[in-house]
């Protein structure tokens, strides 16, 4: 399974690099307003075709671009009950701190676990290639973290059961 990881991440990286070409664009609908067009979606000509990159049914990335903003949604692999709750807890934890994270969206898009929103203002303040690096790093680390936490819960269960039962 891990043989598909590198091509998957490479595809995501290249799509992101292409989509992250953003420029400032004031709202066409409301005077003096500047909104991320990918969120507002009022003018169809400003939106690019959304691209979904799937590793398998459960793991995929949706990249929606527009002229001044980019939305990336990630669906994380959750094989069983405990992974589901761990993922849910972790994503909720981070989304509550979305302000600190700048590029994180407070609510994930329907059908995905976490979403990022990058606007032209972010790309003006940060290096574009480093932002892409961050997203890819995030995707790699999440899977690692999930499996480590699951392992921790399982080993704690095993040790506490062992300690208890061996005293009988």
Determine which residue in the list 18, 39, 50, 145 makes contact with other proteins, applying CB under 8 A: 145
In 13-166, which ranges are E strands? 51-54, 60-65, 69-75, 114-119
- Cβ(91)–Cβ(154) below 8 Å: no
User: Does residue 21 bind other proteins (CB under 8 A)?
Assistant: no
Angle at 44 between CA 43 and CA 50, to 5 degrees: 130
- Rounded to a whole number of angstroms, the minimum distance from the CB of residue 93 to other proteins is 5
In 41-133, which ranges are E strands? 51-54, 60-65, 69-75, 114-119
| Stretch of residues binding other proteins (CB under 8 A), selected from 27-35, 66-74, 106-114, 153-161 | 153-161
Residues in contact with 105: Cβ distance below 8 Å, sequence separation at least 6, in sequence order: 71, 95, 98, 114, 115, 116, 117
- Rounded to a whole number of angstroms, the minimum distance from the CB of residue 135 to other proteins is 10
Determine which residue in the list 5, 53, 98, 126 makes contact with other proteins, applying CB under 8 A: 126
- Rounded to a whole number of angstroms, the minimum distance from the CB of residue 114 to other proteins is 11
Interface positions with other proteins (CB under 8 A)? 81-82, 84-86, 89-90, 93-94, 97, 100-103, 125-127, 130-131, 133-134, 137-138, 141, 145, 148-149, 152-154, 156-168
């Amino acid at each position: 399974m891990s043989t598909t990881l590198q091509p998957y991440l490479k595809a995501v990286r290249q799509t992101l690099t292409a989509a992250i070409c953003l420029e400032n664009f004031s709202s066409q609908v409301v005077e003096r307003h500047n909104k991320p067009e990918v969120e507002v979606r009022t003018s169809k000509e400003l939106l690019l075709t959304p691209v979904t990159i799937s590793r398998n049914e459960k793991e995929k990335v949706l990249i929606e671009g527009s002229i001044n903003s980019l939305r990336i949604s990630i669906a994380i692999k959750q094989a069983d009950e405990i992974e589901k709750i761990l993922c849910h807890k972790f994503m909720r934890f981070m989304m509550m701190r979305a302000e600190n994270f700048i590029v994180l969206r407070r609510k994930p898009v329907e059908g995905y676990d976490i979403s990022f929103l990058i606007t032209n203002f972010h790309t003006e303040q940060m290096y574009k290639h480093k932002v892409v690096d961050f997203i890819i790093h995030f995707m790699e680390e999440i899977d690692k973290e999930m499996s480590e936490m699951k392992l921790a819960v399982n080993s704690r269960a095993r040790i506490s059961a062992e300690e208890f039962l061996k005293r009988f």
